[in-house]
Amino acid sequence: MITGYTTSLREAHEFAGESQTLTDSLLGWTVGLMGAALFAAPTLLAGLGVSIETTGARILVLLPWVLGVLFGVAGRLLALEMRESNNQYIAEKLHALDFLLVADLDAVTMKGNFQASLNDEGELGARMARTKRLQLWTRIFYYATHFALASGASAIFLAAVYGTRLHLTM
């Protein structure tokens, strides 16, 4: 029973690692795209005859991209911390479970220790709580980054379409 659980835990951890790598990659590409948009937006809008020379217009059009880059970088840093915390949690849990396989324990003690590992009692619980907190903040920054990407694209679109009506013409 313990061997089956540890095998499943290792497989699930490998899958989670792949998912975390994909999330980190997506954040990296999103940050790069928004960074490029920061530099390209003024030229694009100028080509359409829209100027963002006024401070208010510049802030409205470029702020979502700036915030998105900041959210994305923070999200990547949090994701790295979360991955490290999760790796330590899994390593500690597997170590405790593997110890049960080689320890000379009576059935009651082994069952109690196995149940304690399953329930993440003691240090495992504290490590899991830290990992979950980091996971929550990573998700918040992940979605904030994508929201900023959509907001930035919308701001550019609106400036291009309504720039003349808002007297942002060159």
How far apart CA 143 and CA 168 sit, in angstroms, is: 31
Could you tell me if residue 87 is inside a domain? yes
Could you tell me if residue 167 is inside a domain? no
Could you tell me if residue 28 is inside a domain? yes
How far apart CA 52 and CA 43 sit, in angstroms, is: 10
How far apart CA 95 and CA 93 sit, in angstroms, is: 5
Are 72 and 34 in contact by the 8 Å Cβ rule? The answer is yes
Q: What is the CA radius of gyration of the chain?
A: 24
Q: What is the pLDDT of residue 19?
A: 86
What is the residue range of 145's domain? 2-162
Q: What is the pLDDT of residue 164?
A: 64
Could you tell me if residue 168 is inside a domain? no
Could you tell me if residue 74 is inside a domain? yes
Identity of the amino acid at 50 = V
Could you tell me if residue 95 is inside a domain? yes
pLDDT tens per residue across all 170 residues of the chain: 777 888 888 888 888 888 888 888 999 999 999 999 999 988 888 887 777 777 777 888 889 999 999 999 999 999 999 999 999 998 988 888 888 788 787 888 878 888 888 788 888 889 999 999 999 999 999 999 999 999 999 988 888 887 766 555 54
How far apart CA 23 and CA 139 sit, in angstroms, is: 10
Q: What is the pLDDT of residue 170?
A: 46
What's the domain count of the chain? 1
Q: Which two tokens stand for residue 19?
A: 């998912």
